[in-house]
């Protein structure tokens, strides 16, 4: 064993203090410096190539995806109102009256009658002249909706057909009650224009070609389904001239409008012939280049199309339920009158105004509404000779909401919603009525001296209430009358009347 000398121990101490970089005795300093220089050059190179020996870096952890951005694993639960509970408290009549009476007042002349009932039990919660016959205006369409849904059924569709004519080279366009025809292609997702004349023409050309028909084709029109006067004598000439209504036929374009986007102003006075001429034009276009030509002009068939005549083509309307909803939403007079006549035909009555009024009266009675004091001279509510009570309207709305005949539920989607849709879309916007926005669902009625509102609402306690308020003899144009109706309905929506 060699014992270190004193000089070696000194070098060891210095070497440990300096990290082993002190040169040993006998080694030249310039060699040590060269070695350090080479080491400084080598370190960066080592760092560059080292990853190749280590392999790829571990991937960075994925960021956490928020729950609302992750792919769903199941269908979401729709956020809807909870089912109504029969245990919800029924409002106290005196408390309801205390809310409604102060706001249901006429602006100027005239008076309001009204009725509020509990929908489930029928208990009367408010009654101001509720059994008094009143001019109902377009609230009458609620009764027509009942008749159409009961006699025709919610799923029924009206067919517009083309059949073989009485002579070779003739075809007959047969109206079947669809007055919402479109001039172009059928639009299955729409109510207006669900059945299109361009589609009907294309089907007709296909059938004629398959039968080997060529040459000139003459179009005839059969609109014999409706009978009696096409214009009700109870309608004021000013309303007809203003386009509130038009002569009734069992087929029409756009509910007897020139343009479906323009729901006011003049209307065709022969809507059936206008539709037939549009069909002939589409048939001419569809037949071009196929050996078929179409004679100019359309003639009315001398009688109804022969029973058993071969059907060449047909297109179907939207369902009765969908048409009823449209009728109520926009208060379409022409569509309402058509529905009344089609309901009459379904019961074996004539497709006339008399047949329609008789059918509507009979069907509301069959639905459980006492028809006493009901007087109908039309079925759209345009005439001033109609008489219906507020009680009868609340009974009709009760039948729709909670009655045993579930076919009537189909009408509920057609009720305009306060501040949101249909004829109530621009109402319920001020501080006194905004509490009813989105909650009040009701059919409106408007004539020069008449305003009405009948519908339903769920009150603050979760109780379903039905109501009808009717103003007659009102001052024309007085702004406060619509507000009075809306305030009364809003009071019911906010009612915790116990």
- Is the distance from CB of 489 to CB of 457 less than 8 angstroms? yes
Secondary structure in 3-state letters for the chain: CCCCCHHHHHHHHHHHHCCCCCCCCCCCHHHHHHHHHHHHHHHHHHHHHHHHHHCCCCCCCCCCCCHHHCCCCCCCCCCCCCCCCCCCCCCCHHHHHHHHCCCCCCCCCCEEEEEEEECCCCCEEEEECCCCCECCHHHHHHHHHHHHHHHCCCCCCCEEEEEECCCCCEEEEECCCCCCEECCCCCCCCCCCCCEHHHHHHHHHHHHHHCCCCEEEEEEEECCCCCCCCCCCCCCHHHHHCCCCCCCCCCCECCCCCCCCCCCCCCCCCHHHHHHHHHHHHHHHHHCCCCEEECCCCEECCCCCCCCCCEEEEEECCCHHHHHHHHHHHCCHHHHHHHHHHHHHHCCCCCCHHHHHHHHHHHHHHCCCCCCCCECCCCCCCCCCCEECHHHHHHHHHHHHHCCCHHHHHHHHHCCECCCCHHHCCCCCCCCCHHHCCCCEEEEEEECCEEEEEEEEECCCCCEEEEEEEEECCCCCCCHHHHHHHHHHHHHHCCCCC
Given 138, 230, 352, 468, which residue is catalytic?
138
**Cα–Cα distance for residue pair 374/339, rounded to 1 Å:** 19
- Catalytic residue status for 138: yes
For tokens 């203003």, what's the residue?
Answer: 242
Report, in angstroms and rounded to the nearest whole number, the Rg of the chain calculated over CA atoms. 40
**Cα–Cα distance for residue pair 143/57, rounded to 1 Å:** 78
Q: Are strands 215-222 and 170-174 parallel, antiparallel or unpaired?
A: parallel
Given 141, 161, 218, 443, which residue is catalytic?
141
**Cα–Cα distance for residue pair 135/386, rounded to 1 Å:** 5
Retrieve residue 134's tokens.
């009143």
Given 301, 331, 367, 454, which residue is catalytic?
331
Retrieve residue 350's tokens.
């004539």
**Cα–Cα distance for residue pair 67/78, rounded to 1 Å:** 18
**Cα–Cα distance for residue pair 221/200, rounded to 1 Å:** 14
Active site residues: 138, 141, 331
């Amino acid at each position: 064993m060699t014992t270190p000398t004193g000089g070696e121990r000194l070098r060891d101490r210095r070497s440990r203090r300096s990290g082993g970089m002190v040169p040993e005795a006998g080694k030249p300093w310039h060699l040590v410096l060269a070695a350090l220089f080479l080491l400084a050059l080598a370190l960066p190179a080592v760092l560059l190539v080292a990853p190749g020996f280590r392999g790829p870096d571990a991937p960075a952890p994925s960021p956490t995806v928020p729950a609302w951005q992750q792919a769903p694993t199941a269908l979401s639960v729709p956020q809807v109102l909870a089912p109504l509970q029969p245990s919800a408290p029924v409002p106290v009549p005196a408390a309801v009256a205390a809310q409604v009476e102060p706001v249901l007042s006429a602006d100027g002349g005239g008076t309001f009658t009204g009725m509020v009932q509990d929908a489930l039990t029928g208990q009367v919660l408010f009654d101001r002249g509720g059994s008094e016959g009143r001019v109902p205006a377009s609230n009458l369409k609620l009764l027509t909706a009942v008749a159409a849904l009961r006699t025709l059924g919610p799923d029924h569709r009206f067919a517009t057909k083309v059949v073989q004519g009485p002579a070779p080279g003739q075809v007959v366009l047969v109206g079947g009650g669809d007055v919402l025809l479109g001039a172009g292609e059928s639009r299955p997702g729409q109510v207006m224009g669900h059945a299109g004349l361009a589609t009907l023409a294309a089907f007709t050309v296909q059938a004629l070609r398959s039968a080997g028909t060529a040459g000139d084709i003459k179009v005839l029109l059969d609109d014999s389904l409706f009978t009696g006067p096409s214009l009700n004598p109870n309608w004021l000439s000013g309303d007809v001239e203003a386009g509130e209504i038009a002569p009734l036929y069992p087929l029409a374009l756009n509910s007897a409008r020139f343009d479906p986007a323009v729901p006011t102003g003049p209307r065709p006075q022969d809507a059936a012939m206008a539709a037939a001429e549009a069909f002939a034009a589409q048939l001419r276009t569809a037949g071009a280049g196929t050996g078929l030509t179409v004679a100019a002009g359309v003639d009315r068939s001398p009688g109804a199309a022969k029973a058993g005549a071969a059907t060449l083509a047909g297109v179907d309307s939207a369902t009765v339920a969908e048409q009823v909803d449209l009728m109520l939403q926009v208060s379409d007079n022409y569509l309402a009158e058509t529905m009344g006549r089609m309901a009459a035909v379904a019961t074996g009555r004539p497709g006339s105004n008399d047949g329609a009024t008789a059918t509507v009266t009979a069907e509301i009675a069959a639905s459980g509404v006492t028809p006493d004091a009901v007087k109908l001279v039309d079925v759209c509510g345009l005439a001033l000779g109609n008489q219906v009570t507020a009680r009868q309207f609340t009974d009709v709305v009760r039948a729709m909401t909670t009655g045993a005949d579930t076919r009537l539920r189909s009408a509920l989607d057609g009720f305009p919603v306060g501040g949101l849709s249909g004829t109530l879309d621009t109402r319920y916007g001020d501080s006194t009525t905004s509490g009813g926005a989105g909650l009040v669902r009701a059919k409106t009625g408007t004539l020069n001296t008449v305003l009405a509102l009948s519908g339903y609402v769920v009150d603050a306690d979760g109780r379903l209430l039905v109501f009808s308020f009717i103003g007659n003899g009102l001052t024309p144009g007085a702004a406060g009358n619509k507000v009075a109706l809306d305030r009364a309905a809003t009071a019911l929506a906010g009612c915790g009347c116990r």
